[in-house]
Amino acid sequence: MPNYIGRFAPSPTGPLHFGSLLTALASWCDARAANGQWLLRIEDVDVVRTQLGAAEQIIRTLEHYGLWWDGEIIYQSQRTECYQAALQQLQQQNDIFWCTCSRADLAQTQSDIYTGHCRAHHQYRSQAAARLRVYKSIVDFDDGVFGHISESVADTVGDFVIFRRDGLFAYHLAVVVDDAEQGITNIVRGADLLNNTSRQIYLQQRLAVTTPAYTHIPLVVNDNGEKLSKQTGARALTWDNPSHCLWQALTLLGQHAPDVLQSEDCATLLTWAINHWQRENIPKRLTL
């Protein structure tokens, strides 16, 4: 077994944009620089949000940029049995309850923290969501970029949904089950997921699986501090000049890639990136 197993886990809700390429690159470099494996997982557990053809497009883009992965690509949509088994384990441990609150019921409570209204519902009910019982405890972790983080999930979100009323498994459960099963040791992903991490660690603890090391890559913002999006003028990834794009991403990540590399091919640039990768140089704010 390698000491380092990383992964890139995009949701196929659209094509890769520059920000997600940058995250993929950071995750890839971190794994390769450690002589580790880098796995690719398509997070299509939420079939409602999945866009037809997007997964294929993301895969072709990674190939085009030379970000090759190890092993088979995993699709969450094909892993329902594993999530079901985890849900069953949690049910047996009395770690979940069945919530029949409607969207309107939940909207009536002023705070975002679940009130615990349905905690007495131990047995399965149809058309109900399964929520994890979250008890007061502090979740701690050391992020590779953002440093020490501690959170009391009971005070920030409370009992959270791991199986949805519409019959789909929630993202948090799928991610935690997959990371554990794939033996992921290091997660490098976008900082938009930073506030999910404590919940996922809490869930890992309930499932008695190992917590990987986390590094969250700051989101790319423009001069006004706005997150890159079509509205704020984010450029779509160009197909023509991938190594220039990778060079730009590396530079933003605080890696001092020499100018001449811009005109080299992706393989040359990526080899340089592996040999010179310094995670500690990633800035806390990435301004394009």
Binding-site ranges for Zn ion (CB under 5 A): 99, 101, 117-118
In angstroms, what is the minimal distance from the CB of 126 to Zn ion? Answer: 14
In angstroms, what is the minimal distance from the CB of 106 to Zn ion? Answer: 7
> Looking at beta carbons only, is 102 or 205 nearer to Zn ion?
102
In angstroms, what is the minimal distance from the CB of 110 to Zn ion? Answer: 16
In angstroms, what is the minimal distance from the CB of 99 to Zn ion? Answer: 3
In angstroms, what is the minimal distance from the CB of 163 to Zn ion? Answer: 13
Tell me the CA distances in angstroms from 136 to 124, 133, 176, 205, one per residue in order. Answer: 25, 10, 20, 14
Exposure on the CB side of residue 6, measured as CA atoms within 13 A:
26
Alpha-carbon gap, residue 55 to 13, rounded angstroms: 8
> Looking at beta carbons only, is 35 or 108 nearer to Zn ion?
108
> Looking at beta carbons only, is 103 or 230 nearer to Zn ion?
103
Residues 198 and 156 sit within 8 Å (Cβ to Cβ): yes
Only one residue has tokens 């398509």, namely: 42
> Looking at beta carbons only, is 67 or 96 nearer to Zn ion?
96
If phi over 0 gives left and psi between -120 and 50 gives alpha, with beta otherwise, what is residue 240? alpha
Q: 169, 187, 135, 155: which is closest to 23 by C-alpha?
A: 187
If you write DSSP's letter for every residue of 83-119 in order, what string do you get?
HHHHHHHHHHTT-EEEE---HHHHHHSSSSS---TTT
What pairs with residue 286 in β-bridges? 220
> Looking at beta carbons only, is 98 or 247 nearer to Zn ion?
98
> Looking at beta carbons only, is 110 or 224 nearer to Zn ion?
110
